[in-house]
């Protein structure tokens, strides 16, 4: 049965782990470095231009934001790796991310976003290692693919697959601008939440 994500809505934003609601529906979590395009991809996936707040300035998502569509919770976690906030704020974000994953939740799918234009970053390697070690189901969404030519996209996918130690079939080229990979991402979510 095809997902109907057109009626997506914002549920709530949480600034502490203690405040996170108990899971009652399948959950799909979005993780990635600051400025990787999490909010933009989430908006494209859910068919809404401004559901998740987008900013040209990294670090806009500072809380754990919950959205709901077709009986599925979409969880937008704070970005990691952004240096232009205080050390205490960075630590709060790290605590939110680790605290979310430490809870008993459904974890149907984690969508780990990685900028396809860059070589593997240490923080991305750490996050994917964590997901792998904890046997959490995940797919890597390689963002901003529209910024590269097709031959360059193919080279970067192969490079990142090796560097991140993630099989090619677990990676998707995506673009919030053109919609590349969005249908396939929806299918992966559908299968994970079935």
pLDDT bin (cut points 50, 70, 90) of residue 93 is low
Residues 6 or more apart whose CB falls under 8 angstroms from that of 188 comprise: 109, 139, 172
Q: Is the pLDDT of residue 33 over 60?
A: yes
Taking residues 19-43, report their average pLDDT. 92
pTM of the model: 0.90
Strand-pair category, 109-115 with 171-173: unpaired
Q: Can you tell me the mean pLDDT for 110-135?
A: 94
Residue 98: what pLDDT? Answer: 86
Residue 56 binned pLDDT confidence (cut-offs 50, 70, 90): very low
Q: What is the pLDDT of residues 162-187, one digit of tens each?
A: 999 999 999 999 999 999 999 999 99
């Amino acid at each position: 049965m095809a997902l109907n994500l057109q009626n997506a809505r914002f549920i709530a934003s949480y600034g502490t782990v203690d405040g996170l609601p108990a899971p009652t529906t399948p959950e799909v979590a979005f993780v990635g470095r600051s400025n990787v395009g999490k909010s933009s991809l989430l908006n494209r996936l859910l068919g809404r231009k401004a559901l998740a707040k987008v900013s040209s300035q990294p670090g806009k998502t500072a809380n754990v934001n919950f959205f709901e569509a077709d009986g599925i919770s979409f969880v937008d976690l704070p970005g990691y790796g952004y240096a232009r906030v205080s050390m205490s704020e960075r630590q709060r974000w790290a605590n939110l991310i680790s605290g979310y994953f430490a809870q008993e939740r459904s974890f149907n799918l984690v969508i780990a976003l990685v900028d396809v234009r860059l070589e593997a970053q240490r923080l991305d390697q750490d996050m994917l290692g964590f997901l792998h070690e904890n046997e959490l189901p995940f797919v890597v969404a390689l963002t901003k693919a529209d910024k590269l030519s097709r031959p360059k996209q193919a080279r970067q996918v192969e490079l990142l697959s090796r560097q991140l130690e993630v099989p090619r079939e677990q990676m998707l080229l995506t673009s919030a601008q053109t919609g590349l990979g969005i249908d396939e991402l929806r299918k992966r979510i559908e299968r994970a939440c079935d």
